[in-house]
Homo-oligomer: A and B are copies of this chain.
Amino acid sequence: MKIINQSDAEAICTKIQTTLFQNIQTTEKDWDIFRSLIKTVSYNKNEFLLQINEIENNIYCLLEGVVRKYTFKGTKEYTFDFHFPVKFFNSYSSYRQKTPSTIALQALSPALVLQFSRKSMEQLYEQAPNAKKTGRKMIEFALINTENKDAKINTQSPEDNYLELLNQNPKLVQNISGRHIASYLGITPESLSRIRKRISKS
């Protein structure tokens, strides 16, 4: 984990501005404040943005790499989701309630991340009234995806789930190890192997 210099952060911030906040009215001054609060951090493969039982104090925006969101059920890992650029996320319930996180966030490749600390978000709210919307929007981006996967995974067969994943996100399947994909699908790596074999025959 390594904090990046501020001039890089500036370029990145512009990217955010143009891609994610097109519809929000913000003044130049708002953006100056926003920009000054960003911390850009790089993570190595397998490093943790957040460990289980830590308290979440950041909102993240992934710019490069892949991040895995997972938990433990007994001794087994369960992968909720994979995050790709450009996406906002964090461990929301831990962030909001200041309780130990039940989930971990781990980089699966070298990753570049914008981090907005709780403190900087509070500063943003105080100093840049117009940017309040930006803050809310970030939280929303981090939350809106929660109503989807559950239903998918639990209404069709593991094979159908895998085929759907292949279809909707081929680069995920190519770049992420099978055990993580199996953990995402709620099956064993052995089952995933068999599914792949079955598919290749048909």
Contact = CB atoms under 8 A, between A and B. Distances in A.
Interface string A139-181: 0100110110111111110000000000000000000000000
Contact of A144 (B78, B93, B153, B155): B93
B140 A73 contact: no
Interface in A100-153: 102-103, 140, 143-144, 146-147, 149-153
A197 interface: no
Contact of A103 (B93, B147, B152): B147
Given A143-B143, A144-B97, A151 B92 contact: no
A186 interface: yes
A144 B80 CA distance: 16
Chain A contact residues (Cβ within 8 angstroms of B): what range? 20 to 34
**Identical chains in the assembly:** 2
Contact of A102 (B74, B140, B147): B147
A44 interface: no
A28 to B, nearest CB: 27
Kindly name the residue among A74, A92, A143, A151 whose own CB sees the greatest number of chain B CB atoms within 10 A: A151
Contacts of A151: 71, 73, 78, 80
Contacts of A93: 144, 147
Nearest to A94: B147
Contacts of A78: 150-151, 154-155
Interface of A: 71, 73-74, 76, 78, 80, 91-93, 96-97, 102-103, 140, 143-144, 146-147, 149-156, 186
11 contacts: A73-B152, A73-B156, A74-B156, A80-B150, A102-B147, A103-B147, A143-B143, A143-B146, A150-B150, A150-B153, A153-B154
